[in-house]
C-alpha cells in the first residue's frame, strides 16, 4: 500500500485569483460576459414566469410518462443510488521493470444542490477506494447562478473524505466565482492550466481546460505553456475536459487519456445502452463510458447528479475509479 509520505505533488503554476493570467485574458472576458448573460441576475418577471412554466411542464411530462409505463421508481433509484465503476486502462512498457499502476478517482456533474443527499452516498463509496488522486470534471452545482457559501458547503461530505490531491475544472453550469471556494476546500482548479502529479517515480501531467460546451473558453496550447519543454518526460498525459467535444484536439496535442462528463451518459438510454440524447454535437461513441480515438483513450462519466428532471433510465449515477497500469 502506498503511503502518503511517498507521494509528491508538484504544482506547475500557482493557484490564486489572477484569472486573466491563469486562463488567458480574452477567455476571461468571454467567460464573464456569458456568465452575466446566463446567471439570471436580471431576468425580469416575464422571463422568470416563462422559465418556471417551461421547467415544471417538462418535469411533469416526463414524470407522468414514466409513471404510465411503470418505470418511475426504477428511474428514481438509478438517479439516487450511485454505482462504483472500475475502468482499467493499460499503457504497457512505459516504466520498465517496475510493475506499477495508479488509481484515479473521477467524479463529474455533481449538480449537488439539486440532490444534496448524493454527497453522502458518494462519500460512503469513496472512503474505501483509496485513489492516488481525484479529478472532478465540472458541473459542481445546478443552474447558471453564483452559489453562496451554504451551497458550497453541500460539497463538504465528498471533499472531506478525500485525503488525496484533488484536481478540478469548471463545467458549463459553473461560475468562475466558485474557484476561490473550491480552492479553499483543497481542490486545485485548472483553468486552462497544467499540474504535475508524481508518485513512486511515475510522472503524470494533468491538464485542465475551461468549458468547451457553453463558454468555449478552452485553450489547450495555453494550458500546456508551462510544461511544453517537458512533454517527453511524462509517463501519462491526462486531459480534463468537461465535455468530450475536444477529443480531436486532445489527440492532436498528444494526450494519452481524456476524462470528461457533461453528457450524463445520455441520462435516458435504451436498454441496449444507446443514449436518447447526446447533449452536444459529437459522435455517440464519446457520450458514455470508455472510448478510443486513434491513440487517445477516453472516458465519459455518467456523472453523479442530474439537473431537471432528477431521473435516469438505464444510465445509473456513477463514481469512477480508473486503474492505469504501466506494465
Ligand atoms: Fe452536467
Q: What is the pLDDT of residues 298-319, one digit of tens each?
A: 999 999 999 778 889 999 999 9
The per-residue pLDDT for 217 is 97
Please name which of 320, 257, 255, 240 lies closest in space to residue 291, comparing C-alpha atoms.
257
Residue 10 confidence (pLDDT) above 80: no
The per-residue pLDDT for 207 is 98
Ligand 1 geometric centre to CA of 143 (Å): 10
Q: Which three cell numbers stand for residue 293?
A: 480515438
Torsion of CA 255, 110, 173, 75, to 10 degrees: 110
**Least confident interval from 79-83, 219-223, 262-266, 307-311:** 307-311
Q: What is the pLDDT of residues 145-167, one digit of tens each?
A: 778 888 999 999 999 999 999 99
Q: What average pLDDT does this structure show over 15-31? A: 87
The per-residue pLDDT for 37 is 83
Ligand 1 geometric centre to CA of 226 (Å): 29
**Least confident interval from 85-89, 92-96, 190-194, 231-235:** 92-96
Q: What average pLDDT does this structure show over 179-202? A: 93
CA distances in angstroms from 288 to 42, 83, 127, listed in the order given: 36, 15, 25
Residue 123 confidence (pLDDT) above 80: yes
Ligand 1 geometric centre to CA of 243 (Å): 9
Residue % of the chain over a pLDDT of 90: 63
Q: What average pLDDT does this structure show over 37-42? A: 67
The per-residue pLDDT for 2 is 40
* pTM, rounded to two decimals: 0.89
Q: What average pLDDT does this structure show over 166-194? A: 95
Domain extents for the chain?
46-325
**Least confident interval from 43-57, 91-105, 144-158, 212-226:** 43-57
Q: Map residue 57 onto helix, strand or coil.
A: helix
Q: Map residue 109 onto helix, strand or coil.
A: coil
Question: What DSSP string describes 193-219?
Answer: EEEEEEETTEEEEEEE---TTTT----
Ligand 1 geometric centre to CA of 102 (Å): 26
Ligand 1 geometric centre to CA of 303 (Å): 7
Higher pLDDT, 134 or 100: 134
Q: What is the pLDDT of residues 71-115, one digit of tens each?
A: 888 888 899 899 999 999 999 878 776 658 899 999 999 999 999
Q: What average pLDDT does this structure show over 250-279? A: 93
The confidence band for 53, taking pLDDT boundaries of 50, 70 and 90, is: low
Ligand 1 geometric centre to CA of 306 (Å): 6
Ligand 1 geometric centre to CA of 302 (Å): 9
Residue 47 confidence (pLDDT) above 80: no
CATH 3.60.21.10 fits 46-325, yes or no: yes
Match 494550458 to its residue by C-alpha cell.
Answer: 223
Amino acid at each position: 500500500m502506498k503511503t502518503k509520505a511517498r507521494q509528491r505533488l508538484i504544482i506547475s503554476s500557482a493557484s490564486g485569483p489572477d484569472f486573466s493570467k491563469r486562463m488567458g485574458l480574452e477567455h476571461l472576458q468571454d467567460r464573464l460576459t456569458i456568465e452575466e448573460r446566463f446567471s439570471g441576475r436580471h431576468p425580469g418577471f416575464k422571463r422568470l414566469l416563462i422559465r418556471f412554466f417551461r421547467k415544471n411542464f417538462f418535469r411533469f411530462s416526463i414524470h407522468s410518462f414514466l409513471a404510465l409505463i411503470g418505470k418511475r421508481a426504477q428511474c428514481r433509484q438509478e438517479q439516487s443510488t450511485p454505482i462504483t465503476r472500475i475502468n482499467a486502462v493499460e499503457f504497457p512498457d512505459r516504466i520498465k521493470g517496475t510493475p506499477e499502476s495508479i488509481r484515479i478517482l473521477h467524479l463529474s456533474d455533481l449538480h449537488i444542490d439539486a440532490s444534496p443527499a448524493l454527497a453522502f452516498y458518494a462519500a460512503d463509496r469513496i472512503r474505501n477506494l483509496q485513489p492516488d488522486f481525484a479529478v472532478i470534471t465540472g458541473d459542481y452545482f445546478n443552474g447558471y447562478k453564483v452559489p453562496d457559501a451554504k451551497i458550497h458547503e453541500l460539497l463538504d461530505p465528498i471533499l472531506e473524505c478525500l485525503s488525496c490531491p484533488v484536481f478540478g475544472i469548471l463545467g458549463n453550469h459553473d461560475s468562475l466565482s466558485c474557484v476561490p471556494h473550491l480552492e479553499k476546500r483543497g481542490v486545485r482548479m485548472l483553468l486552462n492550466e497544467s499540474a504535475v502529479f508524481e508518485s513512486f517515480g511515475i510522472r503524470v501531467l494533468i491538464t485542465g481546460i475551461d468549458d468547451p460546451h457553453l463558454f468555449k473558453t478552452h485553450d489547450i496550447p495555453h494550458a500546456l505553456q508551462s510544461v511544453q519543454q517537458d512533454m517527453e518526460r511524462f509517463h501519462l498525459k491526462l486531459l480534463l475536459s468537461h465535455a468530450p467535444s475536444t477529443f480531436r484536439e486532445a489527440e492532436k496535442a498528444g494526450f494519452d487519456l481524456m476524462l470528461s462528463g457533461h453528457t450524463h451518459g445520455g441520462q435516458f438510454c435504451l436498454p441496449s445502452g444507446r443514449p436518447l440524447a447526446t447533449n452536444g454535437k459529437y459522435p455517440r461513441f464519446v457520450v458514455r463510458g470508455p472510448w478510443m480515438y486513434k491513440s487517445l483513450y477516453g472516458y465519459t462519466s455518467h456523472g453523479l447528479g442530474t439537473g431537471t428532471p432528477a431521473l435516469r433510465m438505464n444510465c445509473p449515477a456513477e463514481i469512477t475509479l480508473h486503474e492505469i497500469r504501466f506494465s
